[in-house]
Structure 1
Amino acid sequence: MDVLELARWQFGITTVYHFLMVPLTIGLSVLVAGMQTAWVRTGNERYFKMTKFWGKLLLVNFAMGVVTGIVQEFQFGMTWSAYSRFVGDVFGAPLAMEGLVAFFVESTFLGLWIFGWDRLPKRVHLACAWAFALATMASAYFILAANSWMQHPVGVEFVNGKPTMNSIFAVLGNNTALAAIPHTLAGAFSVAAAFLVGVAGWHLWRRRSASDSDAGVHRDVWRASLRLGAWVGIAAFAVLAITGDTQGKLMFQQQPMKMASAEALCHTEKPASFSILAIGDVAGANCEDVKTFTVPALLSFLAHNDFSTEVPGVENLIGQYQAKYGTNYPNDPDLGPLAGKPIDYVPNLPVTYWGFRAMIGFGAIGAGIGLLALWLTRRGRIPSGRLFPLLLVAGIATPFIGNSAGWIFTEMGRQPFVVAPNPTGVEGMWMFTAQAVSKLSVGEVWTSLISLTVLYLGLGVVELFLMRKYVRGGIEGVLPPPAHGGEAGSDDKLSFAY
């Protein structure tokens, strides 16, 4: 593999790993703040126990997310320095705002929340929880604004051959970002919801036996957590469907090749059918050997809200892209083996086609498991079969897979561009991925790739060990020991002690 391919693998591995922590932190931070709000308002000890247990898991996950997120920032200087030099005047602004505004607020109020249980008034302590939760969403907003600019560059002009920002409001108000933000946040809530359903369902199943003297201990905590997670997961999937439709229409306008690759639509269709599944090699340009199961005219509706819109196919778009952006890469030695070679404007069709379906499919499965959990636990029921906890625990993985598949589709679908051209934007405002990579040797990138992969595997083991430890420890593992023979957390001062 050459430097470009290795650098893409490195960025992909570190990004996907980091993004496993991000959505759980965002979703869980809001849910934990909601649990604490319920406790402060009602005084019900159940909500206090929920806050303590899920808050502990939130802290473990957040810490791991910070560690992996720092490495993410370094990537732009390590293997993508040419990209950083080209777009730094624009791309650096939202990233700086994320660090200076969101992350510092996030860290400050999280620290106050951790150490303020027995030091701050209840409502002040609760305000810290909400400040942290809102800051995590603000952090996501600035990061998504930066990423959306790569998908749809706005608010810039060329100065001395480099894009220079002329409106921060255009960058932050990019319609691509405004569509991506609610979609990403809904995905984060689906992850947190499945996590609640899986963990709480397992604990609830363990306490299913009425003959067990400890069966009733904390059972109301697990039931409330499971049902909260199930309802949140169903609502999140509904929001994902709505915002995903909005993103599809923007994709049709801004990145038609990505839409065609999502469907492996080789030839232009009017009206265009939506492919549910394909049998055969979707990477084949002619598609004669591919059999698809389709919904007639649905792709036209997703593209333009009617059932007759023409959707251009890959073969038709190749000519349009060549006319606009050239047929060959510049004959620049910095491009290595790609210098002067023909540009392949078609993304990896198997990845985009199946990634798009994995995103939708696993998201739907996660919501379906939540709906099933609601039905099976109605009116105080607790299923006794072993399939119940296995299904709910396995369901934890579904939105993680769906989120990762969605991001892989989003990023790989815009290739060969690292900054995709805006059809109505500044002429020449784009950058090929091959032009963005640092001047490094293959050995240097292999070294960093192997080092980071091994490091992340180690961090993954630590994350799983800590999560397993605190999940298995249950409520007892996060509450202080009983005082004077009473139940832990039975008085205000003890309840507030961490």
Structure 2
Amino acid sequence: MDVLDLARWQFAITTVYHFFFVPVTIGLSAIVAWYHSRWIRTRDEGHLRMAKFLGKLFTINFALGLVTGIVQEFQFGMNWSTYSRFVGDVFGAPLALEALLAFFLESTFLGLWIFGWGRIPERLHAATMWIVHIGTVLSAYFILAANSFMQHPVGYEINEATGRAEMTDFVAVLTNPVQLVAFPHVITACYLVGGALVMAVGLHKLRRGKAKGGPDADRRMYRHATRLGAVVVLVAGLGVAISGDLQGKVMTDVQPMKMAAAEALYDTPPEGQCAPFSVLTVAGLGGEDPTHVIEVPCLLSFLGTGTWDGEVRGISDIEQEYQSTYADGELTAADTYVPPIAMTYWNFRLMMATGFIAMAVGAWALWATRRDHVPMQRWVQPIIVLTPIATVLGHSFGWIFTEIGRQPWVVFGEMATHTAVSPSVGAADVWTSMTVFTVLYAGLAVVEVKLLLEYIRRGAEPFEPPRRVEDDQPLQFTY
């Protein structure tokens, strides 16, 4: 593989790995904050126990996400310095806000939450976790604003003297049409992940308590967590579907090639005919006659335009247009403007499938735990393990679709990916850093999984009423 392929693989590995932790952090922080607030309002012991229990899982995940996120940004200077020089004047503002405002908001108030038990007023203490959650959401917003610029550049101009993109309208960057639909889609998907994790952990502990004859208070607490997680999954799943529909319409408008690639639609339907949506295709992704197993007439037209007879352009027509528009530019010329069709097609469907499966499991969990019933069948355990994993993978499928479907662009219409790599970095350099990152991340994965499994095994600690901590007592990470 050449330097370009290696740099893309390294960025893909580190990005996807880092994003394993992001949705858990965002989704779980909201649920921890909710439990803490409910304890203050109801004085239900189970709510306080769950807030502390889930808070430990959140803190473990936050720490791993922090480490991998810092490494992630190094690559802009390591492997993609040409890209960084071109887009740095635009990217600098949202990334600076993410680091200086959102990240410090998260980390500072998480510290107050961890060490504030018995030291600050309880309502203020509960508010610190809500602020942590707000920080995670703001962090996502600024990162997505930067990514949305890559999908649909706005609020900038090209300085002909320097050959750089320079920001002219920061508000336009933050209110990019792609951003306004991508942000709710990602955030609701994060809530889906958080709900799935709480549902799975609650159901697992509920089953173990039933099998071992645990205390009634524990069974009530874990049943509540199971049902709360299931409700969050269903509500968030509905939000994901609605925001995804809106995102598809914006994508058809500003990135028609990505929409066509998502369906492997090579030829624009004749005038007056609608575009069908293939739920499943087993052959034909390379441009030959497709073999559709399941196809819904006119659905693609509706997903792309909002009308059942709207026009969705095909890959061949768009490719011809892009060749005539961009082929002469130094930064925009490419051999082809068609993204990898198979990866785009299948990641789009896997993304949707994981969401619908999680919603189905959430509905089943609500039904299975009705009237204090506990599902004890052996086939339930694999569902418990796989559901939160599937939701996290669904995020990865979505990001892969978003980035692969944009190719060959690193900044759509302005800079092709092959022109963005660092000119002085060789294949050996990328191999070395990629090997180091892979080994490091593998070790971190072992740490993450072992810690999560250990704290899940321990479960929620017995209830201890909060007590005032004297000022001269040392701070301890034991809440």
TM-score (norm 2): 0.94
Aligned equivalents of 1:214 and 1:350: distance in 2? 50
- Contact 2:191/2:236, CA 8 A, preserved across alignment: yes
Give the equivalent residue in structure 2 for 1:273: 276
Aligned equivalents of 1:321 and 1:292: distance in 2? 31
Q: CA deviation at 1:389?
A: 2.7
Q: CA deviation at 1:216?
A: 2.4
Give the equivalent residue in structure 2 for 1:166: 168
Pairing 1:455–2:467 present: no
- Contact 1:208/1:383, CA 8 A, preserved across alignment: no
Cα 1:130–1:491 shift into 2, 3 Å: closer
Aligned-partner residue type, residue 9 of structure 2: W
Aligned-partner residue type, residue 401 of structure 1: L
Q: CA deviation at 1:343?
A: 1.4
* Superposed CA RMSD: 1.7
Aligned equivalents of 1:294 and 1:213: distance in 2? 50
Q: CA deviation at 1:266?
A: 1.1
> Aligned to 1:475, what secondary structure does the other structure show?
coil
Q: CA deviation at 1:80?
A: 0.7
Give the equivalent residue in structure 1 for 2:312: 311
- Contact 1:83/1:437, CA 8 A, preserved across alignment: yes
User: Which deviates the most, 153-162 or 270-279?
Assistant: 153-162
* Unmatched segments (≥5 aa) in structure 1: 422-429, 480-487
Aligned equivalents of 2:466 and 2:16: distance in 1? 44
Identity in percent: 49
Aligned equivalents of 2:53 and 2:69: distance in 1? 25
Q: CA deviation at 1:290?
A: 3.2
> Equivalent of 2:420, from 423, 436, 451?
436
Pairing 1:347–2:339 present: yes
- Contact 2:152/2:254, CA 8 A, preserved across alignment: yes
Cα 1:213–1:409 shift into 2, 3 Å: closer
Aligned equivalents of 2:27 and 2:8: distance in 1? 28
Aligned equivalents of 1:224 and 1:37: distance in 2? 15
Aligned-partner residue type, residue 308 of structure 1: D
Q: CA deviation at 1:310?
A: 1.7
Q: Deviations over 1:1-53 (max 9, x none)?
A: 00000000000000000000000000100110011000011111110001010
Cα 1:491–1:187 shift into 2, 3 Å: closer
Aligned-partner residue type, residue 182 of structure 2: A
Give the equivalent residue in structure 1 for 2:378: 386
- Contact 2:118/2:466, CA 8 A, preserved across alignment: no
- Contact 2:18/2:68, CA 8 A, preserved across alignment: yes
Give the equivalent residue in structure 2 for 1:148: 148
Q: CA deviation at 1:433?
A: 0.3
Give the equivalent residue in structure 1 for 2:455: 470
Aligned equivalents of 1:259 and 1:289: distance in 2? 17
Q: CA deviation at 1:323?
A: 1.1
Aligned residue pair count: 466
Q: Deviations over 1:336-371 (max 9, x none)?
A: xxxx8x611111111000000000001100111011
- Contact 1:18/1:65, CA 8 A, preserved across alignment: yes
Give the equivalent residue in structure 2 for 1:227: 227
Pairing 1:115–2:100 present: no
> Aligned to 1:207, what secondary structure does the other structure show?
helix
Give the equivalent residue in structure 1 for 2:15: 15
Aligned-partner residue type, residue 415 of structure 2: M
Aligned equivalents of 2:113 and 2:466: distance in 1? 19
Pairing 1:489–2:429 present: no
TM-score (norm 1): 0.91
- Contact 2:26/2:133, CA 8 A, preserved across alignment: yes
Give the equivalent residue in structure 1 for 2:396: 404
Q: CA deviation at 1:491?
A: 5.5
Output aligned runs, 1:27-426, within 5 Å: 27-159=27-159, 160=161, 161-209=163-211, 212-269=212-269, 270-282=273-285, 284-285=286-287, 287-326=288-327, 330=330, 343-421=335-413
- Contact 2:117/2:466, CA 8 A, preserved across alignment: no
Aligned equivalents of 1:491 and 1:449: distance in 2? 47
Q: CA deviation at 1:162?
A: 1.6
Q: CA deviation at 1:289?
A: 4.9
- Contact 1:205/1:389, CA 8 A, preserved across alignment: no
Aligned equivalents of 2:378 and 2:467: distance in 1? 39
Aligned equivalents of 1:460 and 1:354: distance in 2? 26
Aligned equivalents of 1:234 and 1:43: distance in 2? 27
Q: Deviations over 1:253-274 (max 9, x none)?
A: 1010000000011111231001
Q: CA deviation at 1:390?
A: 2.5
Aligned-partner residue type, residue 110 of structure 1: L
Aligned-partner residue type, residue 249 of structure 2: K
Q: CA deviation at 1:304?
A: 1.1
Q: CA deviation at 1:222?
A: 0.7
Q: Deviations over 1:233-291 (max 9, x none)?
A: 00111001110011100111101000000001111123100110001141x12x21533
Aligned equivalents of 1:446 and 1:396: distance in 2? 32
Cα 1:289–1:214 shift into 2, 3 Å: closer
Q: CA deviation at 1:110?
A: 0.6
> Aligned to 2:21, what secondary structure does the other structure show?
helix
Aligned equivalents of 1:352 and 1:313: distance in 2? 15
Aligned equivalents of 1:309 and 1:105: distance in 2? 45
- Contact 2:354/2:391, CA 8 A, preserved across alignment: yes
Aligned equivalents of 2:417 and 2:232: distance in 1? 38
Cα 1:464–1:232 shift into 2, 3 Å: same
- Where has structure 1 moved over 6 Å in runs of 4 or more? none
- Contact 1:204/1:222, CA 8 A, preserved across alignment: yes
- Contact 1:208/1:215, CA 8 A, preserved across alignment: no
Aligned-partner residue type, residue 176 of structure 1: V
